[in-house]
Amino acid sequence: MSKSSRGGCCVLILLGAGLIAAATFLCVVQAAPAGTSLNRVAAWMPTSWDADRARASWEAHRDQIQELSPVWYQLDGSGDGSINRYAGACDADLVQEAHAGGTLVIPLINNYYAGVGFDATPVSTVIHSPTLRAAHIAALVSETVDCGYDGIDIDYESLDGEDDREAFSTFVEELTAAMHAEGKLVSVAVHAKTSEPGGSAGAKAQDWTRIGA
């Protein structure tokens, strides 16, 4: 996985199994305030599975990591815009430890559900409704501010192609405006593609130009 925006890039790694492994199946575009350098190393960190080894890997390599993205949140499957915490979310000690070393904490929220996998339906329901979209954005901003994070990483995968493209772009734009108003960052995991609109449904739902602006 990589991150890029405004000419910068960020290598994303996965913490776990006592080591750092490269994750290459996605790219990430990050919307950040002008002047923010994105030439950095970032890492995903699970805390609801493989937690002990992931934490040990973080401890061993934290001096090399500039952004830490713990896998801490899930969009509620009801599609009402609320968010669920995974085990370990809002860990004040981890946030403080990361910040003490100059590492940004940008937790990940996904649309992955046990027994289902990545499900577009809850995301589609939220992003197509101005009311639900606003409620979801408010929940994300509130959690980010209350827990002292530096931002949020949106990992909404396998969306419904061009049917979701406009609404997803609008969601990211509105979320970014709300987060930037609080001095926070937004990153977005995107499906790989070599041209627009992309080949898979998930790729077609993501307008890189708009969500990376």
Angle ∠(2,212,160) on CA atoms, nearest 5 = 85
pLDDT in tens, 105-129: 999 999 999 999 999 999 999 999 9
Least trusted range by pLDDT, from 59-63, 91-95, 132-136: 59-63
Mind listing the domains of the chain with CATH numbers? 2-211 (3.20.20.80)
Report the range out of 4-13, 34-43, 141-150 with the highest average pLDDT: 141-150
Q: What whole-number distance in Å separates Cα of residue 207 and Cα of residue 169?
A: 7
pLDDT in tens, 96-111: 999 999 999 999 999 9
Residues 6+ apart with CB under 8 A from 91: 47, 70
Cβ 95 vs Cβ 148: under 8 Å = yes
End-to-end C-alpha distance for the chain, whole angstroms: 19
pLDDT value at residue 38: 52
Least trusted range by pLDDT, from 23-27, 99-103, 121-125, 195-199: 23-27
pTM reported for the whole predicted model: 0.82
Average pLDDT over residues 64-82: 96
Q: What whole-number distance in Å separates Cα of residue 135 and Cα of residue 14?
A: 30
pLDDT in tens, 31-62: 455 555 556 788 899 988 889 999 999 999 99
95 pLDDT exceeds 90?
Answer: yes
Q: Which residues of 181-210 are buried (b: 16+ CB within 10 A; e: fewer)?
A: eeebbbbbbbbebeeeebeebbbbbbbbeb
